[in-house]
């Protein structure tokens, strides 16, 4: 991953849109950031493999056999049997994940249907709820909801892990230091780094965890 581990950052703030341009930036071998400025357009094309889009900021229209609007905090699985045209009138930042042949996804993550992350996982209600969205060789993408006051105890991951905060606020403890993280911010946990997380209020996040 290209970001620096152990700090809170904002993908949108640190990568301002450039008028008239579409910019791509590699997240890792399986995922790419797309930065579409106002009136940005990705021409209609077919993809050899399915892709999972997650909108980080802004909004865009996705045209297949129907037109759908994607806004911040929504996901969309691009099918392989249709041409896909993506455009935005206001600007949009999204991440596109490559879906491999060995991928496993839940049945409710329907292809060609725009879905809100909040609709894919139930309210936490005094607990932590986790749901895998994409599991394949190389990594896993999951969405997690923590009720206020709940926490993930101190642990260390076997690979790098990138957190996208979708809603709410939490406190991250990373290698003995505390960081406040809020919706629209991100944090990279380095492989083997000891960390924990506690929700100050109902908190929803997405995690990309490398193998």
24-77 pLDDT tens trace:
999 988 899 999 999 999 999 999 999 999 999 999 999 999 999 999 999 999
137-190: pLDDT as tens digits: 999 999 999 999 999 999 998 999 999 999 999 999 999 999 999 999 999 999
Nearest C-alpha neighbor of 135 from the set 32, 190, 80, 208: 208
pTM of this prediction? 0.94
Nearest C-alpha neighbor of 36 from the set 54, 59, 53, 63: 59
97 confidence band (pLDDT: 50, 70, 90): very high
Q: Is the pLDDT of residue 2 over 70?
A: no
Q: Is the pLDDT of residue 211 over 90?
A: no
pLDDT given for residue 124 in this prediction: 82
Q: What is the mean pLDDT of residues 188-195?
A: 95
Cβ 151 vs Cβ 196: under 8 Å: yes
Cβ 160 vs Cβ 5: under 8 Å: yes
pLDDT given for residue 4 in this prediction: 84
pLDDT given for residue 1 in this prediction: 62
117-134: pLDDT as tens digits: 989 999 888 999 999 999
Nearest C-alpha neighbor of 208 from the set 144, 151, 150, 140: 140
pLDDT given for residue 28 in this prediction: 86
């Amino acid at each position: 991953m290209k970001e620096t581990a152990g700090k809170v950052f904002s993908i949108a703030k640190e990568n301002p849109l450039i008028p008239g341009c579409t910019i791509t930036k590699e997240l890792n071998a399986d995922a790419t950031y797309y930065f579409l400025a106002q009136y940005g357009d990705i021409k209609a094309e077919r993809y050899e493999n399915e892709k999972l889009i997650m909108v980080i900021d802004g909004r865009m229209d996705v045209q297949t056999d129907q037109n759908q609007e994607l806004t911040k905090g929504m996901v969309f699985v691009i099918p392989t049997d249709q041409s896909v045209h993506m455009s935005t009138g206001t600007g949009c930042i999204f991440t596109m994940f490559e879906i491999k042949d060995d991928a496993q996804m839940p049945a409710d993550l329907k292809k060609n249907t725009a879905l809100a992350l909040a609709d894919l996982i139930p309210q936490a209600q005094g607990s932590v709820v986790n749901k895998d969205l994409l599991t394949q060789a190389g990594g896993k993408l999951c969405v997690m909801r923590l009720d206020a006051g709940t926490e993930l105890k101190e642990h260390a991951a076997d690979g790098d892990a990138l957190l996208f905060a979708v809603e709410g606020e939490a406190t991250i403890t990373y290698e003995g230091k505390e960081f406040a993280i809020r919706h629209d911010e991100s944090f990279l946990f380095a492989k083997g780094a000891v960390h924990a997380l506690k929700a100050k209020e109902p908190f929803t996040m997405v995690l990309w965890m490398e193998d």
